Amino acid sequence: MLKIFLLLIATTTLVTTFHQYRDVICKTKDGRNRGGAEKAKCSISLKSEEFDRGRSARVGDGCYVERLGRGKETREICDLVCPKAHTVFVAHIDIGHRACFNYYNYELIQQKDEWFLMRSGECANSTITFRIGCKFDSPFNETYANDEAVFAHLRARRSRGLRLF
Ligand SMILES: *[C@@H]1O[C@H](CO)[C@@H](O)[C@H](O)[C@H]1NC(C)=O
Ligand SMILES: *[C@@H]1O[C@H](CO)[C@@H](O)[C@H](O)[C@H]1NC(C)=O
């Protein structure tokens, strides 16, 4: 009995994970959930729990445009600041969205240890909020001590305009 009990404790400890949530809130002037003539501007909101109110970075911080090849085609990338997350998932998007479809014009992508939300085509030109969950093996504040550190990372990401591929 005691053995089983100890085994249970050990197992529970092993599967302990830490999580964070992000809202990526993208808005167009027309507020429509279908692709319009204008690119949406996004702000990234940090949340410790899924239904927290969230602490928003400045509009555009953490996001940048990436040109594909030599053509005119572009896609929009937003840094989720979930370094070394072992699992990242879309927890929610607006029901019945008319322009954003997973794996078609939006997608979570991993590059080295980092995670990004990619939007392209009509999805990049529509109003939409993505709620994204990230799971980690260690507490997030071991990597980023506080919100200010995360906001600074997002500001730097925007100005660097890094190319992913
Ligand atoms: C999105 O908006 C841009 C203008 O910012 C426009 O050039 C582009 O054609 C639009 N894309 C789509 C798929 O409507
Ligand atoms: C990280 O956050 C936890 C609470 O979630 C706190 O107990 C701990 O002291 C924090 N660690 C650091 C390094 O700030």
Per-residue pLDDT of the chain (165 residues; tens, 9 = 90+): 556 555 555 555 556 789 999 999 999 999 999 999 999 999 999 999 999 999 999 999 999 998 877 777 889 999 999 999 999 999 999 888 999 999 999 999 999 999 999 999 999 999 999 999 999 999 999 999 999 999 999 999 887 765 554
H/E segment holding residue 81 = none
Q: What confidence score (pLDDT) does residue 12 get? A: 53
Does residue 48's CB lie within 6 angstroms of at least one atom of ligand 2? no
Name which residue sits closest to atom 11 of ligand 2, judged by CA.
141
State the closest ligand 2 atom to the C-alpha of 48, by its place in the atom list counted from 1: 5
Token couple for 151: 């906001």
Q: What confidence score (pLDDT) does residue 69 get? A: 77
Q: What confidence score (pLDDT) does residue 165 get? A: 47
| Contact call for residues 68 and 87 (beta carbons, < 8 A) | no
Name which residue sits closest to atom 2 of ligand 2, judged by CA.
141
Strands of 18-27's sheet in order across? 55-56, 41-47, 18-27, 128-136, 87-93
Does residue 146's CB lie within 6 angstroms of at least one atom of ligand 2? no
pTM: 0.87
